[in-house]
Amino acid sequence: MYKQWNDIINRAGNEGRSYLMEHECKELLAGEGISTTSAAVARSPAEAVEISEKIGYPVALKVLSPEVIHKSDQGGVKLDLKDASGVENAFNEIAGIFSHKKMIGVSVQEMAPPGLEVIIGVSRDPAFGPVLMFGLGGVFVEVLKDITFRILPLTETDIEEMLGEIQGYKLLKGYRGTTVDLDALKNLLKKVSNLVMEQPAIGELDLNPVFLYPRGNIVVDARIFLGEEISSLPARVESKAALNKLFYPESIAVIGASDKPGKLGWNIFHNLLYHRFSGKLYPVNIGAETVQGVPAYPKIADIEDPLDAAIIMVPAAYTLQAFEECCRKGIKMVIIESAGFAETGEDGKAVEKELRKLAESYGCRFVGPNCSGIINTHHRVVQSIGIVEDLRQGNIGLIAQAGVYAAGMLWGIRHTMDFAIVATIGNKADINETDILEYLGEDENVEVICMYLEDVKSGRQFIDIARKITARKPVIVLKSGRTEAGKIAVSSHTASLAGNDQVYDAAFRQAGIMRARNNDHMFGLARAFSKQPIPPGDGVLVISYTGSLGVAAADALSLGGMRLAELDEETRKHLREILPPYVGCNNPADYTFDMNADQVRRTIEIGLGSREISSFIVILQAETMDTYIKEFKKIDFKGRPMLCCIPCKEFAMSEVIDMEQAGFPVYSTPEDAVEALAAMYNFGLKIKKQVGDDEKPH
C-alpha cells in the first residue's frame, strides 16, 4: 500500500500537482478498505460508453484534468446518465468546456443509490496537527453548519461524542423508518483517522458526499490535497523535578532590581521582600551598593553562591547579554519579565530565537519574555511587576499568557479567590502552557487549574497531558482570539497566532477541559470548585426570598442537567414548622421577604437529612447578607455543596468578600450559580464514569 501511495504522490509531484485527482483518491481509499463508487478513466466517447455498460446504467461522468480542481462549479460533472447516447453527449460536452485545459479524459462512475448524506473532512491545524470534521451533508453543512471537529487520532470515545454532538444526530439514530449503519460509520471515521495519521503527505482530505445506508456506506466523491506535515512544538519538561526550582526556589537573583519606587525592578524586589521569601535574595544592579536594604552585586558573575533562579528586568537591548551571563553562571531557571520582543516585530522574534539557542546549549529553561513572573503562596514567592498586597494560601493554579493576571487583576480577585500558584508565561519562547499545566497537575497544593490562553504551541501533547489531569482535577480555560478582530489584537500583543476557534473547541472537549466565555465565567467556576465539594447527586434544594428567582433557578437546573430535589413527607413535615403559613411547602422553598438567617440554616439542616438533596442554591437579600455568615458556619454540610446568589451583590461587596472568604461562592444571578453547580456535578459524573471504566475488565 505504501508503494501505491508513493507512486501516486510522485506522479502528482512530477506533474506539478499539489492534489490528487478523484480516480487516484478512490484508488487509494479502496486500498484502505473504504468503499467508494466504481470508477474508470475514459479517453473517448466510445470508451466512456464501453465502461458505462460494464458498470451498469445510470452513470456519472466527471472531468479529469490536473488543471481542474472544482469540477462541478465549471460544468465538469454530468449525473444520472441512463444510456449510451447520454454518455456520448455528456463526454463531448465536457470535452468542449475544457478544450483549453490539459484534459486526461473523464472518470466514469456508477451512480450510488441515495442515502443519508454526510461529509468527512481533514485539514492540518498549525497548533494541533490533523483535525477531522464530521457532519451531515448537503444543506446541513452548507447552510446550517451542522458539523463537529476532533483532533486526530480518534479514539472510540471521540467518535461516539462526535456523532452525538451534531444537531442531526436523531437522523443517524433513525427517524421515521429510516436507519443507517452506525457501526459502519464509526468504522469509516476510524479508518480515515488511521489513514491520515499514517500518511503525513495528506494536507487536506474531503469525502463529500458519503452516503449512509442501513448496511454499510459509500464515498461518492473524494479529494486529497498534498501538503507538508505540521509538527507542533513539543514541551521540553521531562519530569516534575525539572520545574521545581522555578516554583520552589531556595535562592533568586533579580537582575535589574531597583532602589527607586515606581520602577518595575523596584516592584519585583519589593514583592519578594514584602511577602517574606524564605530563601536568599540577590539584587543585581551595576550602580547600587544596596537595593531596598539588601547588599547588591554589579553582575550576576559576582555572586559566589549557587542560584536556583534568576529574574531579568532590564531593557530588551540588554536582555540577551544578561541571559547569557545567567547561563554561564549555571542557573537552570530564568524568568525574563522584560518586554520588547516578538510582540514588537521581526527584530524581537530574532532575539527570542537567540535566547532559545542559548538555553538549549547551556541546558537552561526560561519563562517569558514579556511576562509578570511566578507567584507561589505556599513558598512565599511573588515575582510580579505590579505591587501585590497580602495573599492567602490557596488551591487554585492559574496559567496566564498575559502578565495582567499577576500584575493587575490579582489586586482585586485576591479578595475572593485563594491561589496556590500563578504562572504568567508571556511570549512563551521556551516554557509554555503545556509544561506548566503538567507541573500543576502533579502539585498537591493545586486542586483546580485556570488558564488564560491566546494560542497553544504544543498541540497534541497539550491534549494528552490535559486529558490525564482532567481525570482528577478540573481545568478551566479562557481562550481569546475567537473573532477576526481578536486574532489581530492577539498577534500584536504576545506574538500569538490564534487558531480556528472550532478547532480549539474540539481540542478542549477532547481533553476534558471546561471552556470559559470570559473572565467572570472562568473565575466563577474556579471559585465553586476551589471552595465547595462536588455534588454527590443531581437533586438540588433551592431556598429563596422571592418566587421569581426560585423559578429562574429551577429553569437553569433543568437546562444544566440537574433537577429540583423531590421532597419526601418527612422533609415536608419539618419544613412546615419553619415556613411562613402563607407559602406552600415546595422546592424552591420561598420564604418571601420575611426570610432570615436562622430559618435558612434550619432549612439546610433539614435538607441534609434527605438523601434526595445533594446540594443547595441559596438566594439571599443583599441588605441582610451580613447576618447569614455566622449561621452558615455552624452547619455541617456533610460533603454537600452550597452556592449563594446575591442579586445586586456589587453594592454589598464587603459582605460578599466575607461570605467568599468563609468558603461560600457568591453569584449575581441564579443562572450563574446553577451553571457553576452543574459544571461541578458534570465533572463528578465524568470522574465516576472513568473510575467505573477503569474497574471494568479490558
**pLDDT of 22:** 83
Q: Are 437 and 466 in contact (CB under 8 A)?
A: yes
**pLDDT of 387:** 95
Residues sharing a CB contact under 8 Å with residue 24, sequence separation 6 or more, in sequence order? 8, 11, 12, 224
**pLDDT of 252:** 98
Task: Give residue-wise pLDDT tens across range 456-472.
Answer: 988 899 999 999 999 99
Indicate whether 502 pLDDT > 90: no
Indicate whether 56 pLDDT > 50: yes
User: Measured over all CA atoms, what is the biggest interatomic distance in the chain, rounded to whole angstroms?
Assistant: 98
Q: How close are the terminal C-alpha atoms of the chain, in Å? A: 32
Indicate whether 581 pLDDT > 90: no
Q: What CATH number does the domain located at 116-226 have?
A: 3.30.470.20
The rounded mean pLDDT for the chain is 90
**pLDDT of 485:** 56
**pLDDT of 354:** 96
Count helices and strands in the chain by DSSP H and E runs:
25, 31
Task: Give residue-wise pLDDT tens across range 357-369.
Answer: 999 999 999 999 9
More confident residue, 70 or 402: 402
Rounded to an integer, what distance in angstroms lies between the CA atom of residue 422 and that of residue 382?
9
Fold agreement (240-528, 533-686): yes
Give me the residue spans of the domains in the chain: 38-110, 116-226, 240-528, 533-686
B/e letters for 309-342, b = 16+ CB within 10 Å, e = fewer, are: bbbbbbebeebbebbbbbbebebbbbbbbbbbbb
Task: Give residue-wise pLDDT tens across range 179-202.
Answer: 899 999 999 999 999 999 999 889
Indicate whether 450 pLDDT > 80: yes
**pLDDT of 227:** 83
Summarize the confidence of residues 38-51 as an average pLDDT: 91
Q: Which CATH superfamily is domain 533-686 in?
A: Succinyl-CoA synthetase domains (3.40.50.261)
**pLDDT of 40:** 86
Summarize the confidence of residues 237-242 as an average pLDDT: 61
The percentage of the chain sitting over the pLDDT mark of 70, rounded to a whole number, equals 93
Residue holding cell 482532567? Answer: 470
Q: Of the spans 40-49, 583-592, 632-641, which averages the highest pLDDT? A: 632-641
Summarize the confidence of residues 524-547 as an average pLDDT: 97
Summarize the confidence of residues 282-297 as an average pLDDT: 96
More confident residue, 255 or 113: 255
Summarize the confidence of residues 615-640 as an average pLDDT: 95
Indicate whether 51 pLDDT > 50: yes
Rounded to an integer, what distance in angstroms lies between the CA atom of residue 94 and that of residue 587?
71
Rounded to an integer, what distance in angstroms lies between the CA atom of residue 615 and that of residue 608?
9
Place 15 in a pLDDT band, splitting at 50, 70 and 90.
Answer: confident
Q: Which CATH superfamily is domain 38-110 in?
A: ATP-grasp fold, A domain (3.30.1490.20)
Task: Give residue-wise pLDDT tens across range 433-443.
Answer: 999 999 999 99
State whether CATH 3.40.50.261 applies to domain 240-528.
yes
Indicate whether 233 pLDDT > 70: no
**pLDDT of 483:** 63
Indicate whether 229 pLDDT > 70: no
